[in-house]
Each structure stands twice: as structure tokens, then as C-alpha cells.
Amino acid sequence: MDWVTILILLLGIYILAAAYVKATGKFADHIGFYGPIMMIKTENVGVFDWFRPYSRVLRAYGTVGVVMVIISAVLMTLMLVFAFNVTLVTQPEPTGIYKPQNILLLPGINEYVPSTLAVWFAFFLTLVIHEAGHGILCRIEDIKVKSAGLLYAVIPIGAFVEPDEEDAERVRGWPKARMLGAGITNNIVIGGICFVLFILVVGMATPLSSPAVYGVYEGGPAYDAGLPTPSVITEVNGVPVATRDEVTAALDTTSPGDRLSLTVEKDGVLTDRTLNLTAWPEAITAQVGPRSSGYMGIYYYDAASVQGMVGQMFSPIGWLRFVTIPFDMSVGGQQLKVLAFETPAAAYYEEPFPFFWGIVHFLFWSAWININVGIFNAIPMVPLDGGYILKEGVDRVLEPRGWGRYGQAIVTFVSWVLLSMMLGLIALPYLLHI
């Protein structure tokens, strides 16, 4: 069953359920509607009180979280300024990551975030973790929680915790900042834990050494011969091969201008292709040194190399590689897609246990979405959590000096500047190419 069919079924179930609730008035205390959005809530929120015995530890956790939010807010602001400047200078076309829908992290709408079970579970986990942080810190700081729940529009699109307004207004300074920053802190911490687990689980797979052709270079011999990809080379000039080293050894006996016969397997079907070998391109020999053998114009899927790159993701460069996996279209980036998407490359690993790749994908997207949602919410712009933390900080600095009336104006100005830059990132690629 494809995702379109599933979405139609979910839409039908949602419409029937909404019509039944509205027509009968049942569950009115727990279900409400805002246009097409269904709000399912409960006032039974005693679960947040379970954490009150650990108040000292959780206050320390919240304080560290506020510092983390402030650092994230500064970095995100600098990143926004940098991205806005780069957009003005490079004037990119309104394609790829510059399309408006790709600014959002919504699965199936963002072209780089697939609508799979792993992604939706990760997305839902992110929402719940974020709001749970607010609810727990509310009770730690003696703020009543009136209700909590989920927002549905066919699928879960949000979660919420509703604090008592009078209590929330009464709390000031660090207690309020801890409550406001708890959702961001939870997202970043849980995202970090999932990131570590992701790296550990990927390392459990055994990479296979089969000569897996993952792609061909345009204009090369394999491209001209129509070599199917992805596929696995099984014979070279009629001689069976089982590893990339055996293919390389056979290729080393050739020269530019020779003809090479390859047998490859794709989806259980064997195909024969004859390649007219050429000299190695200068762009490649400049990196790997001169080659006297013939050139096929293929690139392998290197499972061991992928695991090596995953093992290096604790470094700054490795972290950048992790963040860019969904939209990295380079050769290396295409090989890493197996970590986040359902691709044929999964066949080039020996799985250590059932549902291995489903767990890998869930951990990847749980880390990726949690961390991105966390640092995005840290942007010091109302109505994001970072904006309310900025307001609380500005008020605490200005009010003792008698300048409290300027606080709202400062926060509004900062919010509009940052919002303008965010909208500019969306609009400039279109405006600059009218």
C-alpha cells in the first residue's frame, strides 16, 4: 500500500471521526476544533507532578539548558545573518533547498524529509518531548498546568501544555527562563542521545566487499554502454569476481581503447554490457595520481567508507556531514543516504538483527529533527521560545533601572529584524531572478 492510499484512508477516518464528534457532542470536554485542526486535550496532568521530588536536579538541568539556549540563540542569529548575506551575494535560483516548502521540516512537504513511519515517529517524539519539558518545569517552578494534549490535522502536527496564566505571570527571572527553555533543552538533549545511539547502531552492521556499482559518470564508458545502476559486478571478461579488488586487478591489465565485458546483477537479473575504455580524466588523476589502465567511469558503493564517515561524526566536519545528509547530492552524500532513506544500498551490508535499518532511520531522524527543532526554537524571536526568553532577560535588566517600558519595543524590533531575514531567505531567490 503506497503512501497516497494511506493518506486518503487517514483523511477519510479523520473526517468521519470529526463529523461524529461534532454531530453527537460526545467527548466535548476533551476534543475541540480550530478550523480543520482537532485539539485533543486532558486536564488529568498529574504526570508532571511525578518529577517534583527531583526538583533540585531538574532546576540544575534547566539552568544548564538556559545557557545552552542562549548559546544556540547567538549561533542561530549569526547563521541567519551569514545565510542572508550569502543569499544576496550568490543570488541562488529558487530551486532545491531554496524552495519555500523546504524551509519547513514537515515530512512529505519538505522534499528532503520523506513521509515514512520512521520520520513520523521521530516528528511526533520531538513534539511530545518539547512540550513535556515545559510541563515538567512548570511544576518544578510551582506553576499549575491546566491541560495538555495534541493537535491533529489528519496526522499529529503539534502538542501543547497549557500553564495557568496567573502563575506563569507571577514567576520571574531564572525560574521562568528555565520553564521557557525546557522544551528546547529536552529536544537538544534527546537529539544528542539519539545521535550517539545512531552512531553506535550503524557500527553494528557488517559492510560487504562486493563490487557494487552505485553510479556512473556522465559521458564515461559505463554511461555510454547503459550500465544499470545500482548493480553488482559478477564477471569481468567472463571471469567471476566477488570483490572490488578483483575488479581492479582485472582493470589493471587493460589500456585506454580496450573493450571490457561486464556482467552485472540488478534485482536478481544478470545483464551483459561491453565498455569501450578511455583514458582516465585529468580531474581524477590529479587526485589519485597517473593511471595507465583503462577507465570505466563508475563509482562503487563503499559500505566500509560510509561506516568510517559515521564514526567521524563527533568531529565538527563529521557533524556538518550528518546535518546535511538529507540534501547532500554529492557522490559521498548519495552514499550516506542509506542512513536516512530506504535505498538499495542497504543490501550492501549484513544486518545484525531484524528491522535494523528501520531503527537506524528512526534514530537518525529523531536526532536530526529534535536538534533542528530545538535550535530553531532558540532563535530570539517572538513567538518562539527563544524570543520569550529574550523578553524575560531584557525585562529583568531594564525594570530595576526604571526602563521597563522599553523592553517590549526592543524585543519587537529584534523579532522583526530576524523575521525579515528569514522571509528574505525565502523571497530573495525569487525576487533576484524576476
Q: Annotate 335-369 with three-state secondary structure.
A: HHHHHCCCCHHHHHEECCCCCHHHHHHHHHHHHHH
Number of H helices, E strands in the chain: 14, 12
| pLDDT at position 156 | 62
Integer angstrom CA distances of residue 247 from 66, 251, 259, 421: 56, 6, 15, 52
71: helix, strand or coil: helix
Q: Determine the topology of domain 212-300 in CATH.
A: Pdz3 Domain (2.30.42)
DSSP assignment of 36-50 equals TEEEEEES--GGGGG
- Biggest CA–CA distance in the chain, Å, is 88
* Residues contacting residue 2 through CB under 8 Å, at least 6 positions apart: none
Alpha helices, H only, 275-326: 282-288, 303-311, 316-324
DSSP assignment of 144-186 equals -EEEEEEEEESEEEEEEEEE-HHHHHH--HHHHHHHHHHHHHH
The pTM for the full model equals 0.83
* Distance in angstroms (rounded) separating the CA atoms of residues 375 and 78: 13
* Distance in angstroms (rounded) separating the CA atoms of residues 186 and 175: 16
* Distance in angstroms (rounded) separating the CA atoms of residues 110 and 115: 9
Tens-digit pLDDT string for the chain (434 aa) = 455 676 677 778 777 877 877 778 777 777 777 666 777 888 888 889 999 999 999 999 999 999 999 999 999 999 989 988 888 888 777 776 767 666 666 776 777 888 788 888 898 889 889 999 999 999 999 999 988 887 776 666 677 888 888 888 888 889 999 999 999 999 999 999 999 999 999 999 999 888 999 889 989 999 999 999 889 999 999 999 998 899 999 999 999 999 999 999 988 899 999 999 999 988 888 887 888 899 999 988 888 888 999 999 999 888 989 998 998 888 778 889 999 998 888 888 999 999 999 999 999 999 999 999 999 899 998 888 999 999 999 999 998 888 888 889 999 999 999 988 888 887 887 776 66
Residue with cell 595520481: 289
Handedness of CA 295, 299, 301, 306 (dihedral sign): positive
63: helix, strand or coil: helix
| pLDDT at position 184 | 94
